[in-house]
Amino acid sequence: MFTLKRTLLAVGCALAFSAPAFASHCPADAKAIDGAMSKVQLSDEQRSAIQALRDEGMKLHAAGDHRGAESMLAKAMRMLLDDMAMQ
């Protein structure tokens, strides 16, 4: 039983200390989206849709909703990659 408590405590500490590492992933994704958008020809409609998803993702990141932020940024990346594939 003593080993189980230690194991659970270790897992809890690992999760608590790893959360900031995952949170810093969002700005890197936004920077990648910005870089790709500057290199790809997009229509105004495509650019505004991708930018809106990117901005919403960063807004969620700033509010502490990192799962939602990653979801929005992933949608923006997929949309950007789809548009790049069509060219």
**Which residues have a Cβ under 8 Å from the Cβ of 29 and sit 6 or more positions away?**
57, 70, 73, 74, 77
pLDDT at 61: 92
Q: What is the CATH number of the domain that holds 62?
A: 1.20.1270.90
Long-range contacts formed by 13-17: CB under 8 A, 24+ apart: none
3 has a pLDDT exceeding 70: no
Domains in the chain, number: 1
Predicted pLDDT of residue 1: 47
Q: What pLDDT score was predicted for residue 14?
A: 53
Is the residue at 16 inside a domain?
no
Q: What would the pLDDT profile of 27-74 be if each residue is shown by its tens digit? A: 989 999 998 888 888 899 999 999 999 999 999 999 989 889 989 999
Which range of residues forms the domain containing residue 45?
23-86
Is 18 inside any structural domain? no
In this structure, is residue 55 part of a structural domain? yes
Q: Which position has the higher pLDDT, 72 or 18?
A: 72
Three-state SS sequence of 14-65: HHHHHHHHHHCHHHHHHHHHHHHHHHCCCCHHHHHHHHHHHHHHHHHHHCCC
